């Protein structure tokens, strides 16, 4: 039988490549087959694969020692039983407290059931409350009229007489400001572009003309006011920062060598400026209490809160309580008023 001609050239190479590709899966499968035991020489003469050593079991921590038992806690004594509350005393029938608690109830009953009886009952109770209030008002006026410590006209008259009092207080303020002008002056911090400073300047000029109070204008920007008030100005050299000026116009009452008291930072009227100047001088101790009191529109100064002393217990007897109040309110007599004993 004639033999097959040998493959040469490209055709032979192609067949070899195709045959290799066809055989590759078989070789791959053979390579992935398990090896025979005598081919695994690295394992030595063992007929079976030795098992890997088992990992050491984790040591079980010893049981913690039992903590000592806490000492027995003594049981807190049970609180004593609260005494039974006394019966709340009801207000006396038809008293002011009774009417306040019950009048609305009778009114609502009359609204829900407006029978002649219920409406008349409510109106009688309302008339009783009004009569009680009217009687109180009459006695109130008599008591106030008879006691100068309770009568407000003792301190300040009403009606047209109040104008007389205001004029008297104004004259006292002007006189005291003239006296203050001999020892103190006013610093006026301003800016040339501040319209409020322009509005404040005429008021300052008026009080300077009336009292002679020296006023020193201090310009924060170094420029005088455009209106021409206080043309002689001093440039601020740090005074404003040290005094805490945050707004203009700013006013400070100054008494050499080192007395400086704030008066205002903002616009103030003439009467308000007078009061502030005197209040600042009084706070600084530059004018005494009596002189300052005469500048207020009061005929006399009666202050119960200043005259009354300490009271440990309010007396139950209203006559004794009233006598104690009146004695302590009598000014100098308060120093010699008898003290109330704890049993009163």
Distance CA 184, CA 216 (A): 11
If asked whether residues 191 and 113 sit together in one domain, one would say no
Residue 267 domain-assigned (yes or no) = yes
If asked whether residues 254 and 168 sit together in one domain, one would say yes
Please spell the DSSP secondary structure of 115-148, one letter per residue.
-HHHHHHHHHHHHHHHHHHHHHHHHHHHHHHH-T
Residue 109 domain-assigned (yes or no) = yes
pLDDT beyond 50 at 12: no
**Between the CA atoms of 128, 131, 132 and 133, what dihedral angle is there, to the nearest 10 degrees?**
120
Find the domain containing 331 and state its range. Answer: 304-336
If asked whether residues 228 and 166 sit together in one domain, one would say yes
Matching residue, tokens 């008297």: 168
If asked whether residues 165 and 272 sit together in one domain, one would say yes
Distance CA 235, CA 310 (A): 55
Mean pLDDT calculated for residue range 94-112:
94
Please spell the DSSP secondary structure of 61-94, one letter per residue.
PPPPPPPPPPPPPPPPPPPPPPPPPPPPPPPPTT
Please spell the DSSP secondary structure of 180-228, one letter per residue.
HHTT-EEEEEE-TT-HHHHHHHHHHHHHHHHH---EEEEESSS---TT-
Mean pLDDT calculated for residue range 139-167:
78
If asked whether residues 193 and 284 sit together in one domain, one would say yes
Q: What is the pLDDT of residue 16?
A: 34
**Count of the separate structural domains present in the chain:** 3
If asked whether residues 187 and 282 sit together in one domain, one would say yes
Residue 3 domain-assigned (yes or no) = no
The model's confidence at residue 96, banded by pLDDT at 50, 70 and 90, is very high
Q: Among residues 120, 146, 172, which one ends one of the domains?
A: 146
pLDDT beyond 90 at 241: yes
Whether residue 283 contacts residue 259, with contact meaning beta carbons closer than 8 Å, is answered with no
Q: In degrees rounded to 5, what are phi and psi of residue 259?
A: -90, 115
pLDDT beyond 80 at 193: yes
If asked whether residues 221 and 188 sit together in one domain, one would say yes
If asked whether residues 244 and 283 sit together in one domain, one would say yes
Residue 78 domain-assigned (yes or no) = no
If asked whether residues 248 and 274 sit together in one domain, one would say yes
Residue 83 domain-assigned (yes or no) = no
26 φψ region: left (φ > 0), alpha (ψ -120 to 50), beta (else): alpha
If asked whether residues 312 and 226 sit together in one domain, one would say no
Nearest to 174 by CA among 34, 270, 284, 68: 270
Please spell the DSSP secondary structure of 239-257, one letter per residue.
HHHHHT--SSSEEEEEETT
Residue 23 domain-assigned (yes or no) = no
What residues pair up with 221 in beta bridges, in sequence order?
Answer: none
pLDDT beyond 70 at 198: yes
Provide the CATH number for the domain around residue 227: 3.40.30.10
If asked whether residues 284 and 205 sit together in one domain, one would say yes
Q: What's the pTM value of the predicted model, to 2 decimals?
A: 0.51
For 92, residues 6+ apart whose C-beta sits below 8 A from its C-beta are 98
pLDDT beyond 90 at 234: yes
Return the percentage of the chain with pLDDT > 70, whole number.
64
45-59, 311-325, 329-343 — which is least confidently predicted? 329-343
If asked whether residues 191 and 258 sit together in one domain, one would say yes
Whether residue 191 contacts residue 221, with contact meaning beta carbons closer than 8 Å, is answered with yes
Whether residue 203 contacts residue 230, with contact meaning beta carbons closer than 8 Å, is answered with no
């Amino acid at each position: 039988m004639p033999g097959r001609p040998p493959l040469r050239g490209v055709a032979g190479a192609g067949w070899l490549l195709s045959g290799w590709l066809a055989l590759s899966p078989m070789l791959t499968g053979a390579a992935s087959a398990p090896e025979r035991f005598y081919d695994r020489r690295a394992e030595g003469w063992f007929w079976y694969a030795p098992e890997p050593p088992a990992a050491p079991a984790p040591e079980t921590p010893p049981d913690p020692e039992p903590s000592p038992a806490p000492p027995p806690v003594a049981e807190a004594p049970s609180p004593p039983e609260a005494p039974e509350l006394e019966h709340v005393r009801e207000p006396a029938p038809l008293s002011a407290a009774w009417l306040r608690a019950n009048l609305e109830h009778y009114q609502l009953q009359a609204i829900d059931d407006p029978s002649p009886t219920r409406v008349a009952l409510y109106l009688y109770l309302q008339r009783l409350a009004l009569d009680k209030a009217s009687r109180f008002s009459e006695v109130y006026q008599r008591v106030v009229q008879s006691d100068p410590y309770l009568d407000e006209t003792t301190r300040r008259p009403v009606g047209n007489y109040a104008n007389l009092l205001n004029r008297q207080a104004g004259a006292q303020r002007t006189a005291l400001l003239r006296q203050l002008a001999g020892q103190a002056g006013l610093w006026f911090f301003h800016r040339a572009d501040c319209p409020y400073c322009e509005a404040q300047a005429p008021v300052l000029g008026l009080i300077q003309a009336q009292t002679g109070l020296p006023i020193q204008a201090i310009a924060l920007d170094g420029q005088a006011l455009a209106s021409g008030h206080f043309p002689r100005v001093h440039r601020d050299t740090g005074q404003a920062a040290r005094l805490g000026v945050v707004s203009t116009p700013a006013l400070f009452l100054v008494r050499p060598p080192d007395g400086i008291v704030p008066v205002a930072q903002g616009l103030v009227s003439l009467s308000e400026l007078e009061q502030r100047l005197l209040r600042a001088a009084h706070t600084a101790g530059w004018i005494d209490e009596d002189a300052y009191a005469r500048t207020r529109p009061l005929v006399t100064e009666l202050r119960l809160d200043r005259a009354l002393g300490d009271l440990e217990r309010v007396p139950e007897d209203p006559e004794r309580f009233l006598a104690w109040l009146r004695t302590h309110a009598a000014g100098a007599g308060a120093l010699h008023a008898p003290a109330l004993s704890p049993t009163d």
